[in-house]
Chain A
Amino acid sequence: MDRWELFLETFFKSEVITRYWPEILSGLWVTIEVALAVVVAGLALGLALAVLRAYRILAVTALIVVFVDMFRALPPLVVVLIFYFGLPNIGIVLSNWTVLWLVLTLVLAAFAEEIFWAGILSVPKGQWEAARSTGLGFGQALVWVVLPQAVRLTIPPLTNRTIAITKNTALGTVIGVGEILNQATTATSFSGNATPLMLGAIAYLLLFVPVVMVGRWIETRFAWERA
């Protein structure tokens, strides 16, 4: 067997592909499901925290800063393991899917809050003052004048961060969430062949290369508009 045949036999064995591709596909759906749930909940929570911080209540700000710093500093896998193995012992039983979703949501919310907050700070003070002087309340000025300008600025960094955190859905495999990587490693050990791992990698590429390309496009487009 020459090297090329060995390569095909190891990573693209046709019998293994036909036997296991449905498993990888079901993993792909789980990955998409968790990813979407994390993006929606994480961005919403991050924005809510940034808005809350804009009210500049000392105790609230301090709590938010501690939360954000912690989840920016901790490796997500550490938090996943603490929640997954620790919480059941104090009577909180969450499914592995829920643990993965919750942890990634908190991580994304922390990074998103920081980015949204930087966006809010970057809006010139005159915008606030002008909005308030027309008779808008604080909340109204925030929602109708400041946030629309702030969010535009945050789109490029937010996109990149969201992509990076969404890819962490692969951590679910450690606690047995049946996402792509989990299906691929299981199928690899059953089949004694690395083809499912290759299928899994291809599934991730199909899912994330377009997202990365859109992220790149957003980055250049917004950079260009700023200039």
Chain B
Amino acid sequence: MQALIEQFFNLDIMVQAWPVLLGGLWVTLTLCALVIPLGLIGGLGAALLATSRYRAVRWAMVPVVDVFRALPPLVLLIFVYSGLPFAGVDLTPYQAVAIAFALNSSAYYGEIYRAGIASVPKGQLEAARSTGLSAAQTTAYVVLPQAVRTVLPDLVSNTIEVVKLTSLASVVALPELLYSADMARSITFNASPIVLAALLYLALLWPCVRLLSRLERRMAA
């Protein structure tokens, strides 16, 4: 028991690591502030293309989305970060993470929006068009608001996944929360800094998970 506390909940080490982890937390938050909007916007674009009036566009989107859903995000990240330099494209860790995660989360957000758009009854669309709204106006003012409402729990759930996703940036040495914690671990030979990072992730995401559970239950009722 004593060894367990020493190894996982060592307060002295946690206090020492605190400033480094706080810096890491800040990087994690800025990363989220970058990747979440990119994914939301990219996903909306992908969904609009996937529900386009033109069959060729719709069909072309299926393999594109499937490829980015099938590739593990870490594989995509390593490919962008370590693979592209061989082709003469040098990226900073920040740029590589932004590109890889924007592509990955756009594919996921896109699928969610698409399901939402599909759930809006056709009559809504016809009624909107018959009142004289253009196709773009119908999408923006009639279809999307209803679609987003329906899939709100899924959007929240995916956003939690994106926040968790940013921890992968540690693999390409971007000094976010997990990377900072792992640095502190390798210096102190003690797992407490990573436990502290886990506690910070929990502080950040546990309320979101609770909110999500409530949201899901309310939508189901």
Contact = CB atoms under 8 A, between A and B. Distances in A.
A10 interface: yes
A205 B65 CA distance: 12
A98 interface: no
Contact of A79 (B161, B198, B208, B210): B198
A169 B182 contact: no
B interface, size bucket: 35 or more
Interface of A: 6-7, 10-11, 69-70, 72-79, 81-82, 85-86, 89-91, 114, 118, 121-122, 163-164, 167-171, 173-174, 180-181, 184-185, 188, 193-194, 197-198, 200-201, 204-205, 207-209, 211-213, 216
B198 A170 contact: no
A170 B74 contact: yes
A49 B75 CA distance: 32
27 contacts: A6-B88, A7-B87, A11-B87, A69-B210, A75-B165, A77-B170, A78-B167, A78-B198, A78-B201, A85-B185, A85-B191, A86-B195, A118-B216, A164-B161, A170-B74, A170-B75, A174-B171, A180-B75, A181-B74, A181-B78, A188-B82, A194-B83, A201-B76, A208-B69, A209-B70, A213-B66, A216-B66
B194 A85 contact: yes
Interface of A: prevailing SS: helix
B80 to A, nearest CB: 10
Nearest to A79: B198
Interface string B52-68: 00000000000000110
Given A81-B185, A90-B8, 16 more contacts: A6-B87, A77-B170, A82-B194, A85-B185, A86-B194, A89-B3, A89-B191, A167-B72, A170-B74, A173-B74, A194-B82, A194-B86, A194-B87, A197-B78, A197-B79, A209-B70
Contacts of A216: 66
A191 B131 CA distance: 64
B36 interface: no
Interface of B: 3-4, 7-8, 66-67, 69-76, 78-79, 82-84, 86-88, 160-161, 164-168, 170-171, 178, 181-182, 185, 190-191, 194-195, 197-198, 201-202, 205-206, 208-210, 213, 216-217, 220
B202 A201 contact: no
B191 A73 contact: no
B8 A10 contact: no
A167 B77 CA distance: 13
Nearest to B212: A72
